[in-house]
Amino acid sequence: MKSLQQLCRPNIWSLSPYSSARNEYSGHTAHVFLDANENPYNAPLNRYPDPLQQEVKNKLEKIKGIPASNIFLGNGSDEAIDLPYRIFCEPKIDNVVAIEPTYGMYKVCADINNVEYRPVLLDDNFQTTSEKLLGACDEHTKLIWICSPNNPTGNLIHRETILSVIDRFEGIVIVDEAYSDFSSEQPLRARLGKYPNLIVLNTMSKAWGMAAIRMGMAFASEEIIGLFNKVKYPYNINQLAQEQALEALNDPFGVDEWVRLLLRERGRVMTAFRELPICTKVYPTEANFFLACMTDAQTIYDYLVSKGIIVRNRTHVALCGNCLRVTVGKKGENNELLAALRQYQV
Ligand SMILES: *Cc1c(COP(=O)(O)O)cnc(C)c1O
């Protein structure tokens, strides 16, 4: 790996970050707060929130098995996806490599930041090799994006492939594990300590059922987390989101039960799809959704919309011609979907 300073944009490396009122007093006990030009009325919403979300991170430390100092919290994974571009990638000079097809935000953030995005097509089994990914890199490649389980394909990228990329790449590898709670494989974050060039992403939006509060996380070395904290908006996670996250993290047992239910439903719905005459293939999955190849994805998608049922039409995505991506819902919702598809007249 190159040094972090070699990888980081020089303006970010030398940046003096904004120092908020709440940053500067921290560590002391106090009861009169006249430092932040807040309104003394309308408690508790009158106060700025903890800029580093220490309480939430302390809870996550226990649940995720990652020290709080190795955690960054973002306004959704969206923020944790955007920040590496702003930290590491010089617009119009640097580039990033990613598997294709994959989650669309990696490319959107590349485009917004004016950074070249180099997609590397997966094979027919939705796998890749470290040779292919590293072969797409040059001296200006700063980031490699690997989503596993991958969206929209649902499969895990082979762990040996990912580890080989991390071992051999000079830059930063970002592995998005948004769906790891639904997967049978041990999450990669458990091995973070071994890899200084690894960033693992997680989110509260999927297994935790909290997409509304917008909270994503990045796990990485303290040095990389320090760069994230330098560049993020000072109060990027609002007080209400922090409180709701704490409440959920205090009772993580509901999540295990949801995952069990969803995995059982996933098996049932996939079996039913395989029996549909209009379904030609159901791909294996390790996530809370699956990819299904249909006789005519666009027409079936439109038909479902007319019945008030929305799935994701992925037919224009590479390797996903005539594919629908189906999220596993509650039993009743899944049954409505299946009933509509059984009624569908070719
Ligand atoms: C859904 C999803 C996320 C979650 O994004 P948030 O901004 O945290 O809601 C992240 N990565 C992938 C691949 C996803 O599919």
Q: Give tens-digit pLDDT for 314-346.
A: 999 999 999 999 999 999 999 999 999 999 988
What per-residue string of b and e applies to 65-104 under the rule 16 or more CB within 10 Å gives b? ebbbebbbbbbbbbbbbbbbbbbbbbeeebbbbbbbbbbe
CATH of the domain spanning 253-343: 3.90.1150.10
What is the pTM for the complete model shown?
0.97
Helices 331-343 & 253-274 angle (0-180, nearest 10):
10
* CB of 178 sitting under 6 A from ligand 1: yes
pLDDT at residue 5, rounded to an integer = 98
Portions of the chain given CATH number 3.90.1150.10: 253-343
Portions of the chain given CATH number 3.40.640.10: 4-18+48-250
**What architecture does CATH give domain 4-18+48-250?**
3-Layer(aba) Sandwich (3.40)
H or E stretch including 78? helix 76-88
Question: What is d(CA 135, CA 125) in angstroms, rounded to the nearest whole number?
Answer: 20
Q: Which two tokens stand for residue 57?
A: 């991170």
Pocket test for ligand 1, best of 102, 105, 289 (most atoms within 8 A of CB): 105
Q: How far is the CA of 288 from the centre of ligand 1 (A)?
A: 12
Q: Which two tokens stand for residue 3?
A: 């040094």
Q: Give tens-digit pLDDT for 127-155.
A: 999 999 999 999 999 999 999 999 999 99
Q: How far is the CA of 198 from the centre of ligand 1 (A)?
A: 18
Q: Whose CA is nearest to atom 3 of ligand 1?
A: 178
Q: Give tens-digit pLDDT for 77-94.
A: 999 999 999 999 999 999
* CB of 203 sitting under 6 A from ligand 1: yes
